[in-house]
Amino acid sequence: MPSILDRLDLRPIRPRDKHEPGRVASSLELFFDLVFVIAVGLAATNLHELESEQHLWAGVGAYLMVFFAIWWAWMNFTWFATAFDNDDWLYRVTTIVQMGGVLVLAAGVPGAMQHGNFTAVTFGYVIMRLAMVSQWVRVAVNSPEYRATALRYAGGITVVQLAWVLRLLLPDSLGVMSFIVLALAEITVPIWAEQKNVTPWHDHHIAERYGLFTLVVLGEGLLGSANAIIDGLQDADHVFTLTLLAACGLIITAAMWWIYFAVSQHDNFANLRQSLTTGYTHYIIFAAAGAVSAGIEVAVAVHSGATQLPTVEAGATLTIPVAVFVLAVWALAIRPGVGRVANTVIPIAGVLIGLCALAPWPEVVTSVLLIAVVVTLVVTKRPSPINRLTQAAGR
């Protein structure tokens, strides 16, 4: 006689093989990422608007808060999916519910960043996180060896989501402080839950997923370049300037892509400590990459006369995010695998990029420095073991 699970066509959620060969992102994971394109795009657009209106610090603060919700929701699904993914209809529906939460969050981004109204963002975020709780409950039921870990996740996430909702009742004066406290509570849950029994993530798969999200946020920089071209075609008085900005935007975005993917990052997920460090550091990397688009748009606004933002501050909206991205990627992934020359050139270039806001045409200078970093990586890159064997065989 068939069981209830068989009648409902449900499969138990069991841990996946962390050494599974050929493991790649599923079509569901790629579909899931699409809604984050919308959320990241809206966050970058509103950051650009606030910066152009000379609300620089308020814009950056609001952007970092909204981006935390985007990043943390994406990261928690991604880590769950690398360890537990049975792809039955309920798993898919639950994931689509999470996507709905992202869309609610995205719809609330303008209100949160422009007016400090985090109601829609909070409810969208809570929808995503509670859907994640249901997945952990399934793990607790179906996988006895990870039951304690799953219940810790489910309980910890639920408590924090209740706190997020209650936060909406607090006065505005406690908004930032309460956000920081609850954000720290969120990132503490995995540290606490994984102490009982570490979930079986797949290091190559999780590294690929982080790379794919990097492409999502870098894509916003390409959008900024495209907007510069569009504005240039419509503004004959500034066509050369805006075309140059578009070219710089492409060079900057392409160089950031090159730098991020210069080395494989799967070794950074070898153990729990490294995985947490790598995962949490990517908040800085992702947020910086997403902010580059806003910086390019601000540069377009400055050169077309659409904003009165001072030149140095306008330059900083681009150069600071690029510098943070370069330094964070270097410290996290590049530094251990390159020689002395690259480990000298890259951090110096990163610091100089941050100071480029003080120079005329910071976009051009930033592009030149990034090209120098890429050339350094190409020239000093050590051949892989396979390449060394091939070269030896040729001799």
Q: Which residue has the higher pLDDT, 33 or 264?
A: 33
Nearest to 45 by CA among 12, 27, 67: 67
Stretch (H or E) spanning 102:
helix 89-115
Among 161, 193, 225, the domain boundary falls at 193
The full 3-state SS of 32-89, as one line of letters, equals: HHHHHHHHHHHHHHHHHHHHHCCCHHHHHHHHHHHHHHHHHHHHHHHHHHHHECCCCH
Question: CA 116, CA 172: separation in Å to the nearest integer?
Answer: 8
pTM: 0.92
- Averaged over 304-323, what is the pLDDT? 91
Q: Which residue has the higher pLDDT, 384 or 10?
A: 10
Question: Does one domain contain both 61 and 82?
Answer: yes
Residue type present at position 182: L
Residue type present at position 221: G
Q: Which pLDDT score is estimated for 386? A: 41
Structure tokens belonging to residue 354: 């941050």
Question: Does one domain contain both 218 and 139?
Answer: no
Please write the tens of the pLDDT for every residue from 20-58.
998 999 999 999 999 999 999 999 999 999 999 999 999
Q: Which pLDDT score is estimated for 4? A: 60
Residue 212 in domain: yes
Q: Which residue has the higher pLDDT, 383 or 250?
A: 250
- Cα→Cα distances 250→143, 271, 317, Å: 47, 36, 17
Structure tokens belonging to residue 129: 């996180």
Among 138, 159, 193, the domain boundary falls at 193
> What CATH number does the domain containing 344 carry?
1.20.1410
What domain range includes position 171? 25-193
Question: CA 83, CA 81: separation in Å to the nearest integer?
Answer: 5
Residue 1 in domain: no
Can you spell out the DSSP letters for 179-230?
Answer: HHHHHHHHHHHHHHHTTTS-----HHHHHHHHHHHHHHHHHHHHHHHHHHHH
Q: How many domains does the chain have?
A: 2
Structure tokens belonging to residue 40: 């990241």
Among 193, 222, 250, the domain boundary falls at 193
